[in-house]
Amino acid sequence: MTGPETKAAVEWLTSVAPDPSACRWEWERNLQGIALLPAGRRWDVLILPGELGYPTLDVLTRLIDRPGPVLADFGESRMGFFVPPGTVSRWIGTGIRGCGQGTWIVVPYPGRATGGVRWLVPPDGSGALTDPALLELAMHEAAGAAGGVRAEGRRPGRRPEG
């Protein structure tokens, strides 16, 4: 991601900062290439465990050409899907965390590798976000597929250990 698309993505992301120009200045000069930005203004972020997030992203990319921005940590343990503001206040799900009004998230500079987080789907600057209903559908399909794989691995008549 370079040129005008990167500039548009930077403008869109920093527009939520208390001081966008100071945020841009720090972001572009910070060796780590990260910024702490408030959620709940232009987007909320739904954070899924990686074992659900990656299959969910696979399903989403089969359903639509390009989902909204998606972050992942380098440990592959969590993924953050950018959704419309207000989504997390209406979302309930085991193992899913939400960042909305009053929370802050670590955001990498678009197109740059960082030490802790990376873009799986970088923002394009248009403000496009993942539709929560579509995300929920993709999560159900991904979880169902994972459940089917585990069930097939059991022998009939045996109870799972645990």
**Backbone CA torsion sign across 155, 156, 158, 162:** positive
Residue 148 and residue 146: Cα distance in Å, rounded?
A: 5
Q: Which residues contact 80 (CB under 8 A, 6 or more apart)?
A: 45, 46, 47, 48, 70, 71, 72, 99, 105
Q: Please indicate whether residue 29 or residue 157 has the higher confidence score (pLDDT).
A: 29
The pLDDT > 90 percentage for the chain reads 57
Of 113, 132, 110, residue with least CA distance to 121: 110
Q: Does the CA dihedral 25-28-31-35 come out positive or negative?
A: positive
pLDDT, tens digit (0-9, with 9 covering 90-100), for 48-82: 999 999 999 999 999 998 999 999 988 889 999 99
Query: Which residues, 6+ apart, have CB-to-CB distance to 6 below 8 Å?
Result: 110, 111
In DSSP notation, 43-64 reads: -EEEEEEHHHHHHHHHHHHHHS
| Arithmetic mean of pLDDT, 113-142 | 91
